[in-house]
């Protein structure tokens, strides 16, 4: 089911001062941006894009401001320096063996720190595969159908998702051709031995 959030965008845009709001449509229809100040569709923004002006930055200059989940106490604000981007690149290239023009997927929201890690894969030249919706709809294999279709080489999600998938009885190798996947990644909580055995 398609749910438009443009009314929310209009409300937020009316309350804050932004230089530009780039709208990425999720449907083939061209959305009506009336009332969204300084807004532009992604395709129009790219047409007018000029050369990128790179500015040297210090290793410690802030690049991300994130908040902990609060599972071990009160939520904490964390400011990450731009050097973290080098660490992300190292993890993609050395730890995940991700290569140019391959595909990587991590089931995450934009608010989780894994989003920052995922989009950093673009620095490798990798394609980033995104999923918006319920990972169990339609059926428990939704993410694996996506990974199969996109021929993902790296597949990441939470340990909780793997546990829920195991509890559902979904037969991953019996229902999906995942021969393109070289690495399964898990974070958010420890992956239990049973889930490790289930995945591999």
The closest alpha carbon to 199, from 168, 179, 171, 177, belongs to 171
Task: Summarize the chain as % helix, strand, coil (round to 5).
Answer: 35, 15, 50
pLDDT of residue 29: 79
- pLDDT tops 90 at residue 96: yes
Beta strands per DSSP E along the chain: 21-23, 39-41, 62-67, 77-81, 103-106, 127-129, 154-158, 183-187
Rounded to whole angstroms, how far apart are CA atoms 192 and 167?
13
First to last CA, the chain: 33
List, in order of start, the domains of the chain with CATH numbers: 7-47 (no CATH), 96-199 (3.40.50.980)
Instruction: Determine the average pLDDT of the residues in 123-136.
Output: 92
For residue range 37-88, list pLDDT tens digits in order: 888 998 889 888 788 888 899 999 999 888 877 777 888 888 999 999 999 9
- pLDDT tops 90 at residue 120: yes
Rounded to whole angstroms, how far apart are CA atoms 195 and 197?
5
Give 65's strand partners: 79
Instruction: Determine the average pLDDT of the residues in 134-139.
Output: 89
- pLDDT tops 80 at residue 36: yes
Rounded to whole angstroms, how far apart are CA atoms 58 and 163?
41
The closest alpha carbon to 118, from 80, 90, 92, belongs to 92
Instruction: Determine the average pLDDT of the residues in 10-29.
Output: 84
């Amino acid at each position: 089911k398609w749910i438009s959030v443009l009314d929310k965008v209009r409300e937020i845009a009316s309350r804050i001062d932004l230089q530009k709001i780039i709208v990425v449509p999720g449907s083939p229809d061209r959305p009506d941006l009336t009332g969204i100040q300084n807004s532009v569709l992604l395709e129009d923004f790219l047409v007018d894009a000029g050369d990128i002006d790179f500015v040297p930055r210090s290793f410690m200059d802030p690049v991300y401001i994130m908040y902990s989940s609060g599972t071990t106490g009160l939520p904490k604000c964390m400011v990450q320096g731009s050097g973290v981007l080098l660490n992300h690149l190292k993890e993609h290239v050395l730890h995940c063996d991700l290569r140019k023009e391959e595909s990587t997927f991590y089931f995450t929201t934009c608010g989780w720190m894994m989003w920052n890690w995922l989009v950093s894969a673009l620095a490798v030249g990798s394609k980033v595969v995104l999923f918006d919706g319920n990972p169990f709809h339609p059926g428990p294999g939704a993410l694996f159908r996506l990974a199969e279709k996109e021929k993902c080489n790296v597949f990441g999600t939470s340990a909780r998702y793997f546990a829920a998938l195991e509890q559902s009885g979904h037969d991953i190798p019996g229902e999906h051709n995942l021969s393109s996947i070289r690495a399964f990644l898990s974070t958010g909580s420890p992956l239990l031995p049973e889930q490790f055995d289930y995945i591999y």
